[in-house]
Structure 1
């Protein structure tokens, strides 16, 4: 006879009631920012190609940068770059042994990463606008 599976285990599929720890949020956002940067490479290369294609192309690329939506996209790209860079530095410091690999240190460095990203995001907003 086969084993019976215990069907009494709790199942919670309501995502609004699940509370992720700050370290999980930091990990998920690091992956999301990596995907954003991967997509951003195409956008940035297209704008660079347009600006270098001819003097008229440069004027068109410069005119595009006056649009609020384009500025917002570039601000988002810079914010994702800042977060991904800071998160990568955080992981490398832990991997190389400069920071303890404990839950407390993970929480602290995740919060520091979030705080520094907010500061760099504000600075990127000042730069873009």
Structure 2
């Protein structure tokens, strides 16, 4: 019972390594990774803007004149765009945070559920930002 042992040729395995900054254009990011990056960016935006927002709140509460002054500033279209950007950062960060809370409960960890929850986070944050834009610019 001597059988000749056949050697199976080994396939060359693909080399996986850390992605260098010059290779980012070749890397296709998933929706989950985009949501994760946007979660970090929105958190940073809110962290940087927090001192300014708190200062403006403090000054607007001092008297009726300072409130009217800041209300005049907030009515400028450029200020409305800044407010809209901060609203997007909040909505994105909030929705992605809720997604992460569900993931902490070990819900939606498989690939399809992660993709669906990523689409849900992006859709919800864009929809809420759009509704805020409509309100800010006086549509309703």
TM-score, structure 2 as length reference = 0.78
Residues 95/108 of structure 1: CA separation in 2 closer, same or farther (3 Å cut): same
Name the structure 2 match of 1:76.
Answer: 85
Residues 60/117 of structure 1: CA separation in 2 closer, same or farther (3 Å cut): same
Task: Please report how far the alpha carbon of residue 63 of structure 1 lies from its aligned counterpart in structure 2 after TM superposition.
Answer: 0.7
Please say which structure displays the higher CA radius of gyration. 2
Of 15, 24, 48, which residue of structure 2 is paired with 1:15?
Answer: 24
Deviations 1:53-80 (A, max 9, x none): 2222111101101111111111111111
Q: Is the 8 A contact 2:108 2:117 kept in 1?
A: no
Name the structure 2 match of 1:109.
Answer: 117
Question: Where do residues 91-106 of structure 1 align in structure 2 (5 Å cutoff)?
Answer: 91-97=100-106, 99-106=107-114
Name the structure 2 match of 1:125.
Answer: 133
> Size of the alignment, in residue pairs?
121
Name the structure 1 match of 2:10.
Answer: none
Of 16, 20, 25, which residue of structure 1 is paired with 2:34?
Answer: 25
Task: Please report how far the alpha carbon of residue 119 of structure 1 lies from its aligned counterpart in structure 2 after TM superposition.
Answer: 0.6
Deviations 1:4-29 (A, max 9, x none): xxxx9887624333221111111111
Residues 49/17 of structure 1: CA separation in 2 closer, same or farther (3 Å cut): same
Bigger Cα displacement from structure 2, 106-115 vs 46-55: 46-55
Runs of 4+ in 1 over 4 A off after TM superposition: 8-12
